[in-house]
Amino acid sequence: ELPAGQRHFLHVDDLSTAEVREVLDLAKRIKATLAAGGPGYRPFADQTLAMVFTKPSCRTRVSFESGFRRLGGHALCLGEEVGIGTREATKDVARVLASMNELLMARLYAHADMLELAQFSKVPVVNGLTDYNHPCQIVADALTIEEVVPDGSIEGKKVVYVGDGNNIVHSWLELACVVPFDFVCACPSGFEPDAELVERVAKSGVGSARVVVDDPTGAVSGADVIYADVWASMGQKEEAATREAVNEALLAATGRDDTLFLHCLPAERGREVSDGVMESAQSHVFRQAENRMHAQNAIMVFCAGAARPAA
Ligand code: CP
Ligand code: NVA
């Protein structure tokens, strides 16, 4: 049980429609506050964030550590030495870490372990990716879209993911449960996302979700955003299935010249995405990576019930 005013962030739709809007607006404000410099905004002064990684990371590690530091705190990065679920039960690690830190962040294999960590933690737990989902990434992606599109809103936009129906897709689906936009997952047959989650979007009555099998070219027509991810996620065996790379031809198949290209990174250039698309004016992948920090700063402030920047 968390104290009143504190929350875990394990799935995007742990937040209501209004709360996602609040977090996105808070991210924009905190980003502007940090950019302006001046008297410090230090909501996490003298606090610590414990981060546990059982999978590799560049962006997640650096964005949480750098972000928490910029907000006045100190982050500890813990790796395999913790032996979460192997050297020691997850529920024991949860209680030990929560007794000495104000916030926890974890990147784990099994989603059930993330849920257990949260269940036994008396401080907020933020999910930094599991085999099932990657909610922080998708909040950063929504922030990026809102910064780039002319009307400043993700609402009503068509976002087409090209690749297998993985953890990234699941968090896009979670977002569509609480934000009104159209999500399309263009995947190879046999790599569809969790059907229950696709169904949940329909039941939400908020966004829309469609799975298009073996037809990325048709799927991207009219897209505001094309999104790609690695072909084989961390911990997955290299799969032999044919996937469609995002290249100049696929980008042109949108029928528009202002479609954004996004990729959560790391990207294998020349495989899931061409060099030309990565470097094109339509690519916003590095803004997207930086926005991990700004989105997560907002998520941490929201979850901890910490002080917001002065208006
Ligand atoms: N996008 C993302 O989560 O990157 P890392 O795996 O490097 O943290
Ligand atoms: N689907 C990828 C995302 C990496 C950020 C993976 O799980 O490896």
67-76 pLDDT, tens digit each: 999 999 999 9
Checking if the pLDDT of 238 tops 90, the result is no
The catalytic residue among 136, 177, 264, 303 is 264
Nearest to 271 by CA among 290, 244, 298: 244
Any ligand 2 atom below 6 A from CB of 167: yes
Checking if the pLDDT of 127 tops 60, the result is yes
232 vs 289, higher pLDDT: 289
User: How close is the Cα of 59 to the center of ligand 2, in Å?
Assistant: 11
Residue of 107, 129, 131, 236 best suited for mutating to test ligand 1, as the one with most atoms within 8 Å of CB: 129
| Residue 77 confidence class, pLDDT cut points 50, 70, 90 | very high
264 as an active site residue: the answer is yes
Checking if the pLDDT of 311 tops 80, the result is no
pTM equals: 0.97
Confidence at residue 112, expressed as pLDDT on a 0 to 100 scale: 98
Q: Could you give the ipTM of this predicted complex?
A: 0.99
User: How close is the Cα of 192 to the center of ligand 2, in Å?
Assistant: 16
User: How close is the Cα of 265 to the center of ligand 2, in Å?
Assistant: 8
